[in-house]
Structure 1
Amino acid sequence: MKVLKFGGKSLANGKGILTVVDIIEDKVKKGEQIAVVLSARGNTTDELENILENAKDNLSYVEQLEAFKKYQVSDFVNVDFVNEFETLDKLFEGVSLLGDYSKRIKDQVLSQGEVLSAKLITQLLQEKNINANFTDSRSLIITDAQFGDAQPLDKLSKDNVIDHFKKHNGTTVNIVTGFIAANAKNETTTLGRNGSNYTASLLANYLEADELQNFTHVDGIYTANPDLVQDAIKIEKLSFSEANELAYFGANILHAKTIIPLIEKGIPLRILNTFDHKNDGTLITSKSSEKGIKSLSVLENVALINLEGRGLLGKAGVDARIFRALAHKNISVSIISQGSSERGIGFIVDADQAKEAKLVLEQEFEADFHKQDVSVISIEKEVSVISIIGQDLSTFHKPYNALIKNQIIPLLFNNTVTGKNVSLVVQKAQLHRALNVIHGEIFEISKKINLAVFGHGLVGGTLIDQILKSAKQIEKRKKIKLNVFAVANSKKVLLEKNGIDVDWENKVKEVGEPYQLKDIVNYANDNHLENLIAVDNTASQDFTNNYLDLIAHGFDLVSSNKVANTLSFDFYKQLRSALEQNQKQYLYETNVGAGLPLIDTIKLLHLSGENITRIKGVFSGSLSYLFNTFSQEDRLFSEVLQEAIDKGFTEPDPREDLCGNDVGRKLLILARELDLSNEFVDVNIHNLIPENLRKGEATEFLNSLSALDSVYQKVKEQQKPNHVLRYIGDLWGDLSQEKGTLDVKLISVPQSSALGQVKGSDSIFEIYTESYGDQPIVIQGAGAGSAVTARGVFGDILRLTEKR
């Protein structure tokens, strides 16, 4: 015999209930001997509980009750629910008159859900000429008198079950009500929430069934709740002990007591999907073929109670007093953790027992309060428990560190005696994100990195296209899933939780919405997005004002915008302090040298204690092209400048390049990497624009380029033989002091020198150190271009993912 159990979602009106009937009919036609255990249909139990509360509070409930009845009857014209509906009418009327109800009355109310479900399925099967027999489990399962969470009396219950199935056997399909039972006085009791699973396992035990098949709305047991973790993986096999851990620690597909009756008889349990007949589900047996972490389970509807006091230090028996006092009121503690100083003890109880638990402990520790040994007993209700089943403490640092980096600070954690299960208490608002962070870390699936890209001009747009083109290959090679969930310009943002596609540019125009930064932050929070990175491809000082907010809300930063690093030194220090405080990273390799590994090299040299004495080079790819070409070719300066403009090497207004501020900012960034406290006003900049052309509209300047010819032709002609012009940045002086000397200037260098041999739009940097003496470290390569810069930003993003 097989015992089949169907959950509430499987029995909902429409496709659900019809599919259940089809499954039972199919098994009967195949000659299988089965017994069927049913939950209440759909949200029946919750609805009955809600109506009960309204009746107690003397609120209008009649309309809600009529809607409930209508759903139960639905289109099933021949069903007779007169007795059940009359029972509910009387019970609710009595509760309304008294303004209260007992647990005994509540059990009577809730029991009607399973009765209605079983009677309906029995009738639908009989209409198909199947020998179905309605079986009220109150005549089978006998319990103690603990209403709401009754414990079965095994011998009586087993005898009743065996006797009943002897009378109703052969071709009979017994349709049994789950969840409900009766005590010795024949009063209705219930087996606790999700108790229908318990009913099914008891029947399987008593009847020594070949298998218990639990039909639900999912394909089996997953590594995490798939409703909360999109990347959850179905587990093919589990052992009883593993399943028991999952059940105890909140796996809502199992009841905590379901596994024990099955272990006693070695009866396999298979979790199946009512709506997917092809799926084999998850099989739970005495052995498991797999090792390691099995699943993440969640306990909700719990509260954290903290007991704190200086007098707890070194005092024996505090834990015993807590457990004794709570046990006296039947309050169970699921998790407890004590600080190393013993000044604080935290533990988890059911949320509906939290107030009573606090009151009990206040009474128990009344004398300790007077002596000020105990200072406070507090309740924190908005919490959830995540249990990592199979987690070894030796590798627990990985998920723990990942949580911290996502600004999720566990309130409490402990591990079991075996050291194979770890439980964390987190804020309920952080549950969803915490699950995704932990799951991605411990199951070695692709780690999801959620990117918000600000600015989608030449660099930003190229970056987005590079990410979309490379994403699948990166996921395959590195198990890193790059998900661009936000693309924003100064006016609009496109938000896509699961990532933008190749048509992103049109979508920004067509469906992008006006926004403030808080809208993107709220979107990330509302959708529980983890591993957040904000990518700044703007050139805006205004946007850098958002950096501190982004860091505070859990974003790492990647930026091609060099403004933030060149604002006041006070802001520079404030930004670094915020990064350290929030354990965030800020990468900006493209701030100097586009995609060249300059900043990383300088950081490593400086960190290793190497004394850098000078940094000199051609910092601007635009000006590199301008003076390389002008020095080599017999052409007018204005002609070469116009060519650079036409090729997109300069800004639309080339004065932004020619004024030298861009090179000055880059030089200042390098100075600050050496812990120098220079400000931008300390940079001595040779402005290449004649004073009379520095103001006015860009169009006026562009029409006056010829005015530059005589100036620079003269400079060119005054050079020594075999020399060329280079516009350089030079950081020098005693760099061990608070400030260095920063010069940005046009110089003439020998054509044979390293600076003189630079070609095209390349940049070159010479790094002089004590160890290397007169021979500098030279870094040279493409110093401009949207593709090169975008690739550098992309590299920073990937470096950040590795650090995570």
Structure 2
Amino acid sequence: MKVIKFGGRSLANGEGIKNTLRIIKEKVADGEVITVVVSARGNATDELESILEKAAKGESYQEDWEVFMDYQQDGFEVDFKEEFLVLEKLFEGVALLGDYSKKIKDQVLAQGEVLSAKLVTQILRNNGIPAHFTDSRLLIKTDAKFGDAQPLDALSRENILNHFKFYNEDTVHIVTGFIASNTQGETTTLGRNGSNYTAALLANYLNAEELQNFTHVDGIFTANPDLVADAQVIRQLSYDEANELANFGANILHAKTIIPLIEKEIPLRILNTFNSIHPGTLISPVSSRKGIKSLSVLEEVALVNLEGRGLLGKAGIDARIFRALGQNNISVSIISQGSSERGIGLVVSARDAETARIAIEREFEADFYTHDVSKVYVVRDVSVISIVGQELATFNKPYNALIRNQIVPVLFNNTVTGKNVSLVVERKHLHKALNVIHGEIFEISKKVNLVVFGHGTVGSTLINQVLAAQADILQRKNIQLQVVAIANSRQLLFDAKGIGSSWFKDIQEKGIEFQSLDTLLSLVDRFHLENLIAVDLTASSTFIEKYISLVQNGFDLVSANKIANTHSYSFYKDLRVALQQSQKSYLYETNVGAGLPLIDTIRLLHHSGENITRIKGVFSGTLSYLFNSFSAEDRPFSEVLKEAVDKGFTEPDPREDLCGNDVGRKLLILARELDLINEFSDVSIHNLIPEHLRQGTAADFLQRLQELDSEFETIKKGQKDGHVLRYVGDLHGNLLDENGAVLDVKLVSVPKESSLGQVKGADSIFEIYTESYGENPIVIQGAGAGAAVTARGVFGDILRLAERNIG
């Protein structure tokens, strides 16, 4: 014999009840001997409880009652008069008294299972299948604890064996789940998800070959698929693993379901009513693999904390707590203890939290007077995440991932076996925490969510580069890189599932108004997005003020915007403090050398203790092209500059390049990488624009370019033979003294055969002099400008972050 159990959703009107009846018919047609256990149909249990509450409060419940009866009947030719009459009398009595007991509640809720079993029995009979309605209240006997009764094993076993002997094996028993009765014949219920427990007891008593639990999902998942989209079906679990999952909140299993099966090694198979060809999850004595199995969740819980310095080292504290709780029938699911200040945290059912607090306060009343106990308090709005199969020794990875995502567990503990870790988190963080942990511990691609600020030339190029590389990154790195938001100063395009290739059109048509960072933060919070990276591709001096807020809200930073690193030194330090406190990273390799590995190289040398004595180079690809061409060719400076403008090598107003501020910022960034405390005002900059051309519009300036020719021709002719002009940034002086650096930006003449003199095209070049290398500098040279190069450098920073902090 097989015991087959169907859950509430499997029995709901429509596809649910149709599929359930089809599955039963197919099993009978195949010659299988089955006993069927049913739950209440659809949301019947919740609906009955809601009506009961309204009746107790004196509220009108008639409309809800009519809806309930209509749903249960729904055109089915089944006589429910008796059950409906029972419920009507119970509701009327509760409305009259204004209250109800657990005993009355059990009587009300029991009718949901009775209605379900009568319906299935009648429909099967109408289809020629011999079915027998079996009221489990006549079979399973329990103690008198209404709401969560415990079966009397010997008596229940005898009743069930006698009952099934009376009927031959050609009869399909349709048994009510969840309900039972005490020895006085009063209706009791078996607690949350008790129908599973009913099915497990029947399987044990009848020596069933298998228990099949049909539900609305394909089996037990690595996490709740409603909360974690990447959750996967676990094909096989051992009894012990399944029992842990049940104890820690897996909603498919009752915490007591596994116990009756272990005794006789009866397999349990979790199957999908709506996808019955799926093999589901098999629970048996043997597991399919070692390691972490699943994340389960306990909700509707609260944390009760007891604190007191005076209890440190005293024996018997735990015993007193559990005695006080035991006297009030309060069960503790998790306990965690502190050591520096004696503190004990207990996770209990939310409905028992206040009773637990009062019980503990009474037990330690004398200790309050001696100040050994300082307070007992309740923390609500928490949930418990249990990682079944997680060893505490390897818990550092998911824990660090939580901290990086701004989720700090309220407490955590592990089981005696050391194979399971449980975390208490704020309920508002539950969804995000599950996704973070799941992505970290299972061999599933990790999501990295990008928010791009600025979609100009570099921004557009980067977005398209990311979209083009997504599939390759997923295959090679197992990282699901997606752009979830694109913003400019006015509009925001957001899609939690990832923005596609039509993003430019979409931002025009679907973009929402973007006036405050709060708009974005609320969306990120609503969709529980994890592993966030903010990418600043603006040139805004005001947007950098949002950096600290982004960091504090869980974002890592990647930026091509130089202003944040060249703002006041106090802002520079405040940002680093925020990054450290939030354990976030800030990468900005493109701030100085576009796609060249300059900052990483300098940082590595500096942090390894190498004394860098000087950094010198051509920092601007634009000015590199300008003076390389001017030095090599017999043309006026204005003609070379006009050509650079026409080719898009300069800013629309070329004075932004010629003033030298961009090179000055880059030089300051390198100085600060060496822990120097310079401000931008400390940089001595040779402005290449004559005084009389610094004002006016860009158009006016472009009309007067020839006025530059005489001055630059004089400079060019004044050089020594074999020399060329280069616009150079030079960081020198005593770089071991935080105030000893000299920062110069100027046009210089260098030998044509020198490394600076040999640079070609729009390349940048950097000479790094160190104490170890002496007069032979480390030279880094390559493309120093261009949207594609800069975007590729930003992309590199994004991937470094993804692999370093997330991968």
Q: Which TM-score tier does this pair reach, normalised by the shorter chain?
A: over 0.9
Could you say what secondary structure the match of 1:744 adopts? strand
Count of matched residue pairs:
803
What's 1:130 paired with? 129
Deviation at 1:458, TM superposition (A): 1.3
What's 2:597 paired with? 597
For residues 703 and 171 of structure 1, the distance between their equivalents in structure 2, rounded to whole angstroms, comes to 101
For residues 558 and 56 of structure 2, the distance between their equivalents in structure 1, rounded to whole angstroms, comes to 57
What's 1:787 paired with? 788
What's 1:615 paired with? 615
For residues 195 and 281 of structure 1, the distance between their equivalents in structure 2, rounded to whole angstroms, comes to 21
For residues 175 and 692 of structure 1, the distance between their equivalents in structure 2, rounded to whole angstroms, comes to 97
Deviation at 1:567, TM superposition (A): 0.5
For residues 451 and 777 of structure 1, the distance between their equivalents in structure 2, rounded to whole angstroms, comes to 34
Q: Are residues 1:683 and 2:683 paired? A: yes
- For each residue in 1:18-72, what CA deviation from the matched residue of structure 2 results, as whole angstroms up to 9, or x when unmatched? 1111111111111111111111111111111111111111112111111111111
What's 1:326 paired with? 325
**Identical-pair percentage:** 69
Deviation at 1:342, TM superposition (A): 4.9
Q: Are residues 1:755 and 2:760 paired? A: no
What's 1:798 paired with? 799
For residues 289 and 189 of structure 1, the distance between their equivalents in structure 2, rounded to whole angstroms, comes to 38
For residues 490 and 42 of structure 1, the distance between their equivalents in structure 2, rounded to whole angstroms, comes to 49
Deviation at 1:524, TM superposition (A): 1.2
Deviation at 1:447, TM superposition (A): 1.4
Could you say what secondary structure the match of 1:546 adopts? helix
What's 1:707 paired with? 707
Could you say what secondary structure the match of 2:234 adopts? coil
What's 1:419 paired with? 418
For residues 99 and 168 of structure 2, the distance between their equivalents in structure 1, rounded to whole angstroms, comes to 43
- For each residue in 1:768-790, what CA deviation from the matched residue of structure 2 results, as whole angstroms up to 9, or x when unmatched? 11111111111110100111111
- Kindly provide the amino acid, as one letter, of the partner of residue 247 in structure 2: Y
1:540-551 correspondence runs (5 A): 540-551=540-551
Matched-pair contact (CA < 8 Å) for 1:399–1:442: yes
Deviation at 1:170, TM superposition (A): 2.5
For residues 63 and 789 of structure 1, the distance between their equivalents in structure 2, rounded to whole angstroms, comes to 65
1:2-41 correspondence runs (5 A): 2-41=2-41
Q: Are residues 1:667 and 2:667 paired? A: yes
5+ long unaligned stretches in structure 2 = none
5+ long unaligned stretches in structure 1 = none
Could you say what secondary structure the match of 2:213 adopts? strand
What's 2:657 paired with? 657
What's 1:358 paired with? 357
For residues 24 and 169 of structure 1, the distance between their equivalents in structure 2, rounded to whole angstroms, comes to 18
1:516-531 correspondence runs (5 A): 516-531=516-531
For residues 428 and 158 of structure 1, the distance between their equivalents in structure 2, rounded to whole angstroms, comes to 42
- For each residue in 1:720-763, what CA deviation from the matched residue of structure 2 results, as whole angstroms up to 9, or x when unmatched? 11111111111111112223111111111111010000000000
For residues 557 and 208 of structure 1, the distance between their equivalents in structure 2, rounded to whole angstroms, comes to 61
1:279-298 correspondence runs (5 A): 279-298=278-297
- Kindly provide the amino acid, as one letter, of the partner of residue 344 in structure 1: G
- Kindly provide the amino acid, as one letter, of the partner of residue 758 in structure 2: Q
Deviation at 1:138, TM superposition (A): 0.6
What's 1:372 paired with? 371
For residues 217 and 349 of structure 1, the distance between their equivalents in structure 2, rounded to whole angstroms, comes to 29
Matched-pair contact (CA < 8 Å) for 2:235–2:288: no
For residues 761 and 121 of structure 1, the distance between their equivalents in structure 2, rounded to whole angstroms, comes to 80
- For each residue in 1:687-708, what CA deviation from the matched residue of structure 2 results, as whole angstroms up to 9, or x when unmatched? 1111122111211112222222
For residues 106 and 342 of structure 1, the distance between their equivalents in structure 2, rounded to whole angstroms, comes to 44
For residues 549 and 780 of structure 2, the distance between their equivalents in structure 1, rounded to whole angstroms, comes to 35
What's 1:310 paired with? 309
Matched-pair contact (CA < 8 Å) for 1:536–1:561: yes
Matched-pair contact (CA < 8 Å) for 1:168–1:174: no
What's 1:693 paired with? 693
Matched-pair contact (CA < 8 Å) for 1:133–1:174: yes
1:136-285 correspondence runs (5 A): 136-285=135-284
- Kindly provide the amino acid, as one letter, of the partner of residue 523 in structure 2: Y
For residues 481 and 256 of structure 1, the distance between their equivalents in structure 2, rounded to whole angstroms, comes to 36
What's 2:768 paired with? 767
What's 1:742 paired with? 743
- For each residue in 1:324-373, what CA deviation from the matched residue of structure 2 results, as whole angstroms up to 9, or x when unmatched? 11011110111101112251110100110001001101110111111111
Could you say what secondary structure the match of 2:204 adopts? helix
Matched-pair contact (CA < 8 Å) for 2:730–2:744: yes
Could you say what secondary structure the match of 1:541 adopts? coil
Which deviates more from structure 2 when the two are superposed, residues 151-160 or residues 560-569?
151-160
Matched-pair contact (CA < 8 Å) for 1:178–1:199: yes
What's 1:490 paired with? 489
Q: Are residues 1:44 and 2:48 paired? A: no
Matched-pair contact (CA < 8 Å) for 2:9–2:16: yes
What's 2:399 paired with? 400
TM-score for both structures, normalised by structure 1: 0.99
- For each residue in 1:402-424, what CA deviation from the matched residue of structure 2 results, as whole angstroms up to 9, or x when unmatched? 11111111111111111111111
Could you say what secondary structure the match of 2:242 adopts? helix
Q: Are residues 1:645 and 2:645 paired? A: yes
Deviation at 1:627, TM superposition (A): 0.7
Matched-pair contact (CA < 8 Å) for 2:622–2:762: yes
- Kindly provide the amino acid, as one letter, of the partner of residue 303 in structure 1: A
Matched-pair contact (CA < 8 Å) for 2:312–2:339: no
Q: Are residues 1:56 and 2:45 paired? A: no
For residues 265 and 545 of structure 1, the distance between their equivalents in structure 2, rounded to whole angstroms, comes to 66
Matched-pair contact (CA < 8 Å) for 1:314–1:342: no
Deviation at 1:648, TM superposition (A): 1.7
Could you say what secondary structure the match of 1:175 adopts? strand
- Kindly provide the amino acid, as one letter, of the partner of residue 330 in structure 1: N
Could you say what secondary structure the match of 1:545 adopts? helix
- Kindly provide the amino acid, as one letter, of the partner of residue 107 in structure 2: Q
- Kindly provide the amino acid, as one letter, of the partner of residue 162 in structure 2: D
For residues 33 and 655 of structure 1, the distance between their equivalents in structure 2, rounded to whole angstroms, comes to 89
For residues 33 and 696 of structure 2, the distance between their equivalents in structure 1, rounded to whole angstroms, comes to 92
Matched-pair contact (CA < 8 Å) for 1:300–1:383: yes
Which deviates more from structure 2 when the two are superposed, residues 55-64 or residues 137-146?
55-64
For residues 633 and 162 of structure 2, the distance between their equivalents in structure 1, rounded to whole angstroms, comes to 107
Which deviates more from structure 2 when the two are superposed, residues 87-96 or residues 555-564?
87-96
1:524-603 correspondence runs (5 A): 524-603=524-603
- For each residue in 1:360-391, what CA deviation from the matched residue of structure 2 results, as whole angstroms up to 9, or x when unmatched? 01110111111111111010111111111111
Deviation at 1:711, TM superposition (A): 2.1
For residues 378 and 157 of structure 2, the distance between their equivalents in structure 1, rounded to whole angstroms, comes to 42
Matched-pair contact (CA < 8 Å) for 2:38–2:174: yes
Deviation at 1:546, TM superposition (A): 0.6
For residues 690 and 205 of structure 2, the distance between their equivalents in structure 1, rounded to whole angstroms, comes to 99
For residues 703 and 73 of structure 1, the distance between their equivalents in structure 2, rounded to whole angstroms, comes to 87
Matched-pair contact (CA < 8 Å) for 1:309–1:375: yes
- Kindly provide the amino acid, as one letter, of the partner of residue 261 in structure 2: L
Deviation at 1:167, TM superposition (A): 2.2
- For each residue in 1:474-527, what CA deviation from the matched residue of structure 2 results, as whole angstroms up to 9, or x when unmatched? 121221111211111111111111111111111111111112211211111111
For residues 327 and 119 of structure 2, the distance between their equivalents in structure 1, rounded to whole angstroms, comes to 42
Q: RMSD between aligned alpha carbons?
A: 1.1
For residues 165 and 504 of structure 1, the distance between their equivalents in structure 2, rounded to whole angstroms, comes to 66
What's 1:628 paired with? 628
- Kindly provide the amino acid, as one letter, of the partner of residue 643 in structure 1: E
Matched-pair contact (CA < 8 Å) for 1:384–1:427: yes
